[in-house]
Structures are given as structure tokens and as C-alpha cells.
Amino acid sequence: MKLVTHTWRTLISRPPFYVMAIFFLFMLLVPVMTNDLYLIGVLVLANVYAIFASSWDILSGYSGKENFGHTLFIGAGAYGAAYLNLYLGVPPMLNLVLCGLIGAVFGILIGIPCLPLVGPYLALATMAAASIAERLTMIFSKYTGGEEGLYGLEPITAGPVGDYYLSLILVIITTVILMAIGYSKQGLILRSIKEDETASEAAGINTTRYKLVAFAISAFFAGMGGAFYAHYQMYTGPSSLSIIMAITIIIICMIGGMGTIVGPVLAAYMLTVSNEFLRSIGDFRLLVYTGLLVVIVLFLPRGVFTVILERLPRFGQNREASKP
Amino acid sequence: MVALEILIYGAVLSGIYALLAVGFALIFGVARVINLTHGAFYMLGAYTTYALSVLLNVPLILSILGGMAFVFILALCLDRFIIERIRTTMINVLITTLALSLFADQVILQIFGPDNRNIPAVISDRVTLLGVDIAGQRLLSLIISVAVIATLWLIITRTRMGNALLATAQDPEAAQLMGINTGRMFMITMGIAAMMAALAGGIVGSFLTVAPEMGMLPIIKAFSIVILGGLGSLGGSIIAALLIGYLETSVAYLISFNATELVPLVIIFVTLTFRPAGIFGKRRGF
């Protein structure tokens, strides 16, 4: 018990945790403060992107194995949800878990051949895997609806506010679990793989196992997010598998700060919301994202929120003692 | 008959792929940079040629040269102001160049709109070669690809500058100690490769679609070809370009046009998982 309270105190004293706690409390109150359904719709989208970005981060941000085909897992979840719901009548809530598992299976299937690959090789292999999936949906358009996609999924909740709360709860669950993993031994070992994989192997760590677990976790949450997105839109299409989507997710993570979970989550909200304000002028989403990314890479290579979080104080404990 | 068609159309496609992939491989070999803006250079070459020839009525050949010049300057700026500063981190280079190429797509989309464009052909007649009817421009693009790659080969192997490029590729530090300005070598490589991509964009504009996202697929293919051939090996890239070009043409003729994009992707995925060094690479680039 003492250990639990101590761990809890250590965690809550750190900037990433109290910032997230305050942020989520605020987000829970949004539907109370506004009736603007358009804004709530935008925030649901931001929630979805937060799930996608943080699930990318636990694998790629932590271990440095940059996955350029994260959409494969999202698409697996989205199409999985469509098939399960349309053909087998699986209820949406159960689909969230089932499609997370489908995603995780894909994560392991893709993870195994990709494990030994590094840098650009991994980037190309994962990008190719996602593109193969995208092409397959076009070729087997009889079963996948091709360009049109699959329509008529059951809505997941009764209305926009319900969707908002459900998606926000999913973000909170995802963020808490992923942050806990990030601070656990698993996260530490993934970081050590990023620093020097050979050295971690020499230290007796079975890096393969940890990387595979990371692939599965990352893909689980991506699949779950994909399933939510499909039910929320009541539709799924090949755009959920597109390379552009995969790149957008990486850009969100790099702007927020890779390997922090908090950074990508906050960046997902920042970028999605700011993009909606720009929509009145024109569709400049990719223009803004890519332009901003170049500026960030050149001037704040570790990400916006990493820099901010480091400047915030820690509470309630001796600074010296808490240093790693 | 089909065999002859595959032979000739495959050669044309391979030539274009080789033109893109050799430039891409050159940048990697000399500067150790995976430059994903290469596809954007191809697209910008096509659009500059289109803007000059169709909108401003400049003679076509001058327009193509204009496109090359524009992309050349752009590439030098890119190298000098962006890549030079992030060269050491592979992920930053990958994602920044990819982001920049999307940025270029979006800028072109805002200026020209999403419609497909057409660039007039230098040779608009059709030619019959070995009993196969083919647009003259396609044949011209094959001849140009072969000529440009051969010239590049001569420059690299026969001239002093070529030697300096090779030395930089082998060991940048040692090359610098021998008095080679490696920074300039990186810029020259980038410039040459960008011009080749722009040239490809300018000549294919009459028979392939010119659209803002036209660079996306070719760059994934060039990347694939270069990895298949072994990163940094120019000869390997050319052979891999032939392989992919012929494979795609055969699949389009014999199986289904829909499956064309799929086959090279599957090959890449399989190659990467079983032999990441590629067919001719002696070792991994990383």
C-alpha cells in the first residue's frame, strides 16, 4: 500500500501527469460549457487523432522504430468493425475490444518480418505493407466497396455528445495505459533500444520480445481507434488506410514531441482544432501540418510540448531525490 | 505480339523509373540522404514545363529546360537551408523531405487545382517499331533516359568531378582531407539528381497524368527500386528499375491493370524481410 501511494505521489507530481489531469478535466466539461455541435464534432475528431498518435508513439516514439504504415492497423480495426457489425451484427461496444485485438494480430504479423529492419528499411517496409492493404481494398472492391467503402454501420452512441464522451473516455484510457507502459520496464527497455539496440542486447535483454509487444500494444489501440472512427462515421473507406493519414499521424507526433505520449496527444488537439479555424479560408490542413513540421524540425527538434513540459515544476517531493 | 509490346512498353517505363531511381540512389550514395522530395522534383518539373509551354507559350524544349533550371535552384536551396541542418538524423530527413513533398503537392494543388493536365509532346507522331505501334514521345523518353544515364555514368567515371563524387561517397572525411569540398559535392549531387527528375517530369507529361499527387507513387517506387538494387549501387538501381518496369508492364498486360501497383509493393516487402541489402548490395546501408 505504501508503495502504491508513493508511486502515485511520484507520478502525480510530475508535469506530464498533472498537465494531462487538468487537461482531461477541462475536456470533460466542454459539453457543459458549449452547445456548439460543430465544435464537439471537431473535438471528437481530435480525440480520434489523439488515440492514433499516442498509439504510434508507444512503438515508434519510444523505440525509434518509425512505423510509416500505422494506418494498416487503423484500417484493420475500421474494416474489421465494418465486417463484424454488418455481417455478424456484433454490437459497437464489443467491436472496440474485438477490433483492438484484430489490430494487435496485424501488429504481430507485420511486426515479425519487420523486427530486424532499421531506419529507412523499416519505413519502406511498413509503408509498403499499408499500401498493399490499400491496393487490396481496391482490387477486391466486390467485398470492400472499393473507393466507396462500406456504409451503414451501427452508430456507437445516441448522439454527438455521447460520441464525444465515449471518444474522450477512450483517449483517457489509452493515454493512462500508454503512459503507465511508458514509465514501466517495458517503456524503459524501448528507450534503451532507441539509444543503442546492440548495447541493450548485450545487457541480456531480449529486445525482440519487447519490440514485438510494443508492436502489438501500438496496433491494439490503433485498431480500437479505427473501430470507433468507423462506427462514429457509420462508414469505412480506403482513406483510413492511406499513406497521407499515416504521415499526418507521424507529423502530429513529431510536432508534439516523440516518445512522450503527452506531446502527441496534446498536438493532436492543437492541430485538429487550429485546422478547423482555418477551414473557413480553405482546406489547408496538409499545408499547415507540413509547413509547421519543417519549422519544428529545424528549430524545436524535440517537439513543442516536450520543451514546455520540461519547464514546468515538479510538486511535493525533493527534486534531487527524484532525478533518475 | 504481346511479348513485343511488353518488351517495348516495359523498356519505356523502366527508362523513366531508372531516370528517377538513379538520381535518388546518387543522392543516397554521395550524401547519405534519403531524399523523398525527389518525387516532388518530378512533379514540379512537369508543372513548370506545363506552365511555361501551355500557359506562356514558350517553345516546348525551352520549357523543359526551364523546368529543370527551376527545380535545380529549388534543390540547391533545399540542400543548403534544410537538409544540411538535419543530415545527421535519419528520421528527421525522411519525414521532413516527405513533408516538404506533400507541401509542394498542396501548393501546386492551390495554384493549379486538382485536375489532370496535359503537356504537348515533342514528337507527336506515332512510330511503328518491331510491329508495335507506339507514341513517338514514349520512344523519345526511352532514348533520353538512356542518354542521360550514360552521360552521368561517363561524368562519374571519367571526370575529375566524378572522382571527387566517388571519393565523397566512399569516405566524406577522407575526401575532405584530400581537399574536396564535400558540402559542394552534396549540393552538386542534389542538383544533378533534381534536374534528372524534372526532365523525367517534363517528358512524360504527354502520356502520363500530370496531377499534384503524381510524384507520390514514383517516389515510393524509386525508393523501392533503390533498395531492391542495393542502397548506393547505381548499377543495381538500373537493373532493379528494369525489373520493376518490366514486371509492372507484364502484370498490366497479362493479369490485370488493377494489380500493377500491387506487385512491386509485394516484392519490396518480401525483399526487405528476406534480404534487406537488396540484390546487389553487399551490406546494409545502415
Give pLDDT tens digits for B114-132.
Answer: 888 888 877 777 777 777 7
CA angle B273, B11, B102 (to 5 degrees): 60
Residue for grid cell 534531487: A320
Whether the per-residue pLDDT at A261 is higher than 60: the answer is: yes
| B82/A294 touch (CB, cutoff 8 Å), yes or no | yes
Residue for grid cell 511535493: A316
Whether the per-residue pLDDT at A173 is higher than 90: the answer is: yes
pLDDT tens, position by position, A12-64: 777 888 888 889 999 998 888 888 888 899 999 999 999 999 999 999 989 88
Q: Measured between CB atoms, which of B85, B261, B286 is closest to A135?
A: B261
pLDDT tens, position by position, A124-134: 889 889 988 98
| A117/B86 touch (CB, cutoff 8 Å), yes or no | no
Task: Tell me which chain A residues have a C-beta less than 8 angstroms from the C-beta of B105.
Answer: 286
- pLDDT bucket at B191, cuts 50 / 70 / 90: very high
ipTM above 0.90, yes or no: no
Q: Cell for A233? A: 462515421
- pLDDT bucket at B284, cuts 50 / 70 / 90: very low
Amino acid at B141: S
Whether the per-residue pLDDT at A323 is higher than 50: the answer is: no
- The dihedral over CA atoms of A276, A282, A285, A287, expressed in degrees to the nearest 10, equals -150
Paired with A150 in beta bridges are: A236
- pLDDT bucket at A2, cuts 50 / 70 / 90: low
CB-count burial class (<10 Å; 0-12, 13-18, 19+) for A282:
exposed
Whether the per-residue pLDDT at A83 is higher than 50: the answer is: yes
Residues A273/A46, Cβ–Cβ less than 8 Å: yes
| B110/A251 touch (CB, cutoff 8 Å), yes or no | no
Percent of chain B with pLDDT over 90: 11
Higher pLDDT, B130 or A177: A177
| Chain B residue with the nearest C-alpha to that of A128 | B265
Distance (Å, whole) CA A210 – CA B109: 43
Average pLDDT over residues B15-39: 87
pLDDT tens, position by position, B68-82: 999 999 999 988 888
pLDDT tens, position by position, B196-236: 999 998 888 888 888 888 888 888 888 888 888 877 678 88
- pLDDT bucket at A282, cuts 50 / 70 / 90: low
The pLDDT score that the predictor gives to residue A269 is 93
Window 76-95 of A: residues touching B by CB (8 A cutoff) are none
Q: Which of A9-13, A107-111, A202-206, B252-256 has the lowest mean pLDDT?
A: A9-13
Q: DSSP class of residue B130?
A: T
Distance from CA of B239 to the nearest CA of A (A): 19
Higher pLDDT, B267 or A3: B267
The pLDDT score that the predictor gives to residue A223 is 95
**Helix B216-229 vs helix B2-31: crossing angle, to nearest 10:** 80
CA angle A300, A301, A304 (to 5 degrees): 50
The pLDDT score that the predictor gives to residue A58 is 93
Q: Measured between CB atoms, which of A124, A139, A282 is closest to B224?
A: A124
Distance (Å, whole) CA A145 – CA A110: 24
Spell out which chain B residues touch chain A, with contact meaning CB-CB distance below 8 angstroms. Answer: 34, 82, 85-86, 89-92, 94-96, 98-100, 102-103, 105-107, 110, 216, 220, 223-224, 227, 231, 256, 258-259, 261-262, 265-266, 268-269, 272-273, 276, 284-286
Whether the per-residue pLDDT at A8 is higher than 80: the answer is: no
Average pLDDT over residues A227-249: 90
Give the list of residues 6+ apart from residue B173 with CB closer than 8 angstroms, or none.
Answer: none
Whether the per-residue pLDDT at B283 is higher than 60: the answer is: no
The pLDDT score that the predictor gives to residue A324 is 46
pLDDT tens, position by position, A91-124: 889 999 999 999 999 999 999 988 888 778 888 8
Average pLDDT over residues A269-290: 81
Average pLDDT over residues A217-242: 92
Residues B134/B8, Cβ–Cβ less than 8 Å: yes
Give the list of residues 6+ apart from residue A118 with CB closer than 8 angstroms, or none.
Answer: A65, B284, B286
Distance (Å, whole) CA A251 – CA A294: 10
- pLDDT bucket at B182, cuts 50 / 70 / 90: confident
Q: Which of B27, B36, B95, B256 to mutate to test the interface with A (most CBs of A within 10 A)?
A: B95
| A287/B103 touch (CB, cutoff 8 Å), yes or no | yes
Q: Does residue A284 sit at the B interface (CB-CB below 8 Å)?
A: yes
- pLDDT bucket at A322, cuts 50 / 70 / 90: very low
- pLDDT bucket at A316, cuts 50 / 70 / 90: low
- pLDDT bucket at A265, cuts 50 / 70 / 90: very high
